[in-house]
Amino acid sequence: MSEKLNQLKAILGEVSDLNHAASVLGWDEQVNLPPGGGEARGQQLATLGKIAQEKFTSDEVGRLLEDLKSEYADAETDDGAMIRVTARNYEKAKMVPPSFIAEQAVTASKAFEAWVEAKGKSDFSIFQPHLEKVVDLVKRYVSFFPPADHPYDVLLDDFEPGMKTSEVKEIFGSLRPKQVELIKAIAASKQVKDDFLHKNFPEKKVWDFSEKIITKYGYDFSRGRQDKAPHPFETTFSVNDVRITNRFEKDSPLATLFSAMHESGHAMYEQGVNPAYERTPLESGTSLAVHESQSRMWENIVGRSLPFWEHFYPELKKAFPTQLDGVGAKAFYKAINKVEPSLIRVNADEATYNLHIMLRLEIEIGMVDGSINVRDLPEIWNAKMQDYLGIVPPNNAKGVLQDVHWSGGMIGYFSTYALGNIISAQIWEAVNKDIRDLEDQFRKGKFDELRNWLTEKIYTHGHKYDPQDLVQKVTGSKIDSAAYVRYLTKKYSDIYGL
């Protein structure tokens, strides 16, 4: 290994340390921080973000990358991939002033505190001025880069490298009518009963059961933990410190189980990254869509499957005998997969979930290109909910204020959830070609072979490959919705007798 490569890795390691330290503060902000600490936390995050940006975009890093590019041109090697990803990140980061990073951190911290209050009171006016500042900063961020085909491309690229707005629109455009057709066929069928899911389930018992499930999945609690937060998320401080958060909703108590499965899918990805990639730009998952493919796979394709519940349901019924009295495993399976237009994205069934994402994508594009004003969001949100799902939120807490993402400036993120659904089905078909008895394994509560396959094919590579290249390697094709349509059609045809 050359001396210059060692010098570069030393700097990148320090940048990684700073960013992970900021992540610890961000995790604490959502889990432990008292209401009065928000402003100070924003300043702390701003300082760390500014220092990390200055260190990463230094002339020294630029010179080292220039000197190393030709020596490590083979992207199939770990060092070659690291140089390629670092150079790409460097060129982007160089365009953004460190002072802007600091300003954005302060704004996001204040916006998060305002969002928590606004959601609690269902009062959009509390959040509005903060979101307006967030959107203004997002537009400024876009202005730092050369003109793209669409300004939203710049934001999307941060979460899904190389993806264009036009590509996402095309994928969604072909998928939406097929999902709408399926939803209509389901609506015309005999409906599934799920009233027993909304009974009073004791919070601690539900929480404990969620941890039992994800422990069997393979989420390593010696390198992680599950805490409470207003909105579930996963965060990584190291391959040996990958944490998740969750929440309990009284009107949808078992949603906690599926949130845990979802976040553990993210976490197992991060725990499975090659430890040699620690403190380099390869240390995390390759993109948000590939990441979401894992969270959605473990939550839905595995966690809402009949074989899964043939194993876990007897234990669940033992834990909640009164609530589930007279309910068989098949009835429970159908209930947790009931298709019904709903208000809350994270609790939406698989058939309608992507419509929630398409709605958000339209709004985000509108905010970025200026065709939608923040002050009009509640009205626009409700109108689009009526258009997409035929229902209107009774209040803003269950409408425009339900998601935390915009408070943190994560505009460009939402489409990756639907892309992740699509990729998950492609990967699932590839898995089943290699492992023929997965359903029998699930019935026995065994998930090791699936997790090991995913670790070998996806997790261990971290960010070594670009997302489309990784999907191609694993599934034989780039991102394509056909497998997802097959998956949904088969699943719901069985449940609803289509």
Nearest partner of 340 among 492, 482, 490, judged by Cα:
492
- Contact partners, residue 362, CB within 8 Å, separation at least 6: 384
Helix (H) or strand (E) holding 241: strand 241-246
DSSP state of 191: P
Q: Give residue 156's pLDDT.
A: 95
Question: pTM score, two decimals?
Answer: 0.92
- CATH topology classification for 165-219+273-496: Neurolysin; domain 3 (1.10.1370)
CA 251 to centroid of chain Cα atoms: 23
Q: Angle at Cα 473 formed by Cα 472 and Cα 474, nearest 5°?
A: 95
Nearest partner of 455 among 218, 161, 214, judged by Cα:
218
Q: Give residue 1's pLDDT.
A: 59
Helices then strands, counting H and E runs in the chain, come out as 20, 3
CA 176 to centroid of chain Cα atoms: 21
Helix runs in 144-244, H state only: 151-159, 165-187, 203-217
DSSP state of 254: T
Q: What is the pLDDT of residues 322-368, one digit of tens each?
A: 999 999 999 999 999 999 999 999 889 999 999 999 999 999 999 99
Q: How do the domains of the chain map onto residue ranges?
A: 3-132, 165-219+273-496
pLDDT tens for the chain, 498 residues long, are 589 999 999 999 999 999 999 999 999 999 999 989 988 999 999 999 999 999 999 999 999 999 998 888 887 899 999 999 999 999 999 999 999 999 999 999 999 999 999 999 999 999 999 999 999 999 999 999 999 999 999 999 999 998 999 999 999 999 999 999 999 999 999 999 999 999 999 999 999 999 999 999 999 999 999 999 988 999 999 999 999 999 999 989 999 999 999 999 999 999 999 999 999 999 999 999 999 999 999 999 999 999 999 999 999 999 999 999 999 999 999 999 999 999 999 889 999 999 999 999 999 999 999 999 999 999 999 999 999 999 999 999 999 999 999 999 999 999 999 999 999 999 999 999 999 999 999 999 999 999 999 999 999 999 999 999 999 999 999 999 999 999 999 999 999 998
Q: 224: buried, middle or exposed (CB in 10 Å: 19+, 13-18, 0-12)?
A: buried
Cβ atoms within 10 A of the Cβ of 10, count? 10
Q: What is the pLDDT of residues 155-173, one digit of tens each?
A: 999 999 989 999 999 999 9
CA distances from 125 to 119, 131, 138, 345 (A): 10, 10, 20, 22
Q: Give residue 467's pLDDT.
A: 94
**Tokens 């089905």 correspond to what residue?**
425
Helix (H) or strand (E) holding 226: strand 226-228
CA distance 165 to 455: 30
- Contact partners, residue 376, CB within 8 Å, separation at least 6: none
φ/ψ (deg, to 5) at 230? -60, -30
Pseudo-torsion of CA 214, 215, 218, 220, nearest 10°? 110
Tokens, residue 43: 């300043």
Q: Compute the residue count for the chain.
A: 498
CA distance 37 to 39: 6
Tokens, residue 114: 């305002």
User: Is 299 annotated as catalytic?
Assistant: no
φ/ψ (deg, to 5) at 179? -70, -40
In the three-class reduction of DSSP (H, G, I as helix; E, B as strand; rest coil), residue 338 is classed as: coil
CA distance 328 to 317: 9
- The active-site residue, picked from 29, 234, 263, 350, is 263
